Amino acid sequence: MLKQRLDKPNEKYQVKLGFGLHVGWSIEGAIGSSFKIDASYLSSHVNMASALEERTKEYQTNLILR
């Protein structure tokens, strides 16, 4: 189904990236199983970077620095 939608010549698709950068501390934890492990980062600074990234959509920009 996705390939059919992407093959339509009249429809144009764009990829948009947003970034929120903030400097601070965090702790890293491993989440997953013995087959796949993902890293997760926790701190108020990580939450701030996430909030900044969300604001890129609100302000229609690609990068917000604090």
Query: Does a structural domain hold residue 66?
Result: yes
Query: Does a structural domain hold residue 40?
Result: yes
* Count of domains forming the chain: 1
- pLDDT value, residue 16: 80
Quick one: tokens of 4? 């059919």
Quick one: tokens of 48? 């701030």
Query: Does a structural domain hold residue 41?
Result: yes
DSSP string, 10-41: T--------EEE-----EEEEEE-SS-EEEEE
- pLDDT value, residue 27: 95
Instruction: Give residue 47's pLDDT band: very low, low, confident or very high (50, 70, 90).
Output: very high
Long-range contacts of 39-48 (CB under 8 A, 24+ apart): 48/20, 48/22, 48/24
In terms of residue numbers, what domain contains 40?
36-66
